[in-house]
Amino acid sequence: MTNRVWLDQPGLASAAGPVPAPPAAHARPLQIGGITPFTSIDFPGRLAAVVFVQGCPWRCTWCHNPHLQPRRADDASGGRPWAEVRGWLARRTGLIDGVVFSGGEPTIDPGLAATMADVRAMGFAVGLHTAGIYPRRLQDVLPLADWVGFDVKAPLSRPALLDRTTGVAGSTGAVQQSLRLLRASGVAFECRTTAHPALLDEAALQLIGDELAALGITHVALQRARPVAAAAAPLDPVPKDWPSAATLEHFERLFPHFVLRDG
């Protein structure tokens, strides 16, 4: 995960309960919580900028961006308008290849599809980071994406563990449906699991691998969770020798494209 530059930074040129339904689609502009001007790791094979969308209904313990969880009211101020960010991106034509929409959970925003289409019209490739919280909204935007990073937070056969990770009951059904849609879409994608020994033991990690391999998924990443001081329950640093060599070998056997990252 790259460092973020927040849009009000001087010098930048212009929970528990069921998962809520996303807002109805209308012309409201995208709520932007920040950007990364340049990254080489958030969009495989591309030099990209990252646009962080405000809002997420989940409350994952290890969340890297807890300040992006609250969704602002329609009339609330904050962030910069898309027109200003778009102008900034236009000046980066030729310097970057793509734009990644991350979050938060970008599919929460009814302005996402129009904004992705706008970015494509500018000539940029489009990446998307999602946890699959809103399958119907994901289905709408998949035709506009060139690549998707899909978060698998726990074994899909253990819904109680996924609910404990997300802090929201009933998370599994939406994730399963979104993953089916993604696999059927033909869009290139990677499944990633952010792992911490306090949340997922190695048996759970290996089970995630087995489930994804059974679905024919080929591109998988494990990401060691990093400590976040602002988190509701900060976690200790992940030991550099975790996961074990046996777990890493398990993933390497299962997937032709496997990578271990420090989150």
What would the 3-class secondary structure string for 207-241 be? HHHHHHHHCCCCEEEEEECCCCCCCCCCCCCCCCC
**Of the candidates 222, 228, 230, 225, the residue with the CA atom closest to the CA atom of residue 255:** 222
* pLDDT reported for residue 230: 55
pLDDT tens sequence for the chain (263 residues): 443 433 333 222 323 334 444 444 445 689 999 999 999 999 999 999 999 999 999 998 778 888 899 987 654 445 678 999 999 999 999 999 999 999 999 999 999 999 999 999 999 999 999 999 999 999 999 999 999 999 999 999 999 999 998 989 999 999 999 999 999 999 999 999 998 998 899 999 999 999 999 999 999 999 998 876 655 667 788 998 999 999 999 999 999 999 999 86
* pLDDT reported for residue 15: 32
Query: Would you say 213 and 252 are in contact if contact means Cβ atoms under 8 Å apart?
Result: no
Domains of the chain by residue range: 32-262
What pTM, to 2 d.p., does this model score? 0.87
Angle, CA 15 vertex, CA 9 and CA 18 arms, to 5°:
120
**Of the candidates 206, 209, 238, the residue with the CA atom closest to the CA atom of residue 224:** 238
H helices of the chain, in order, are 82-90, 112-121, 135-141, 159-166, 172-185, 202-214, 245-254
Chain position carrying tokens 């911490």: 196
What CATH superfamily classification does 32-262 receive? Aldolase class I (3.20.20.70)
Tell me how far apart the alpha carbons of residues 210 and 22 are, in angstroms, rounded to a whole number: 31
* pLDDT reported for residue 73: 63
* pLDDT reported for residue 11: 29
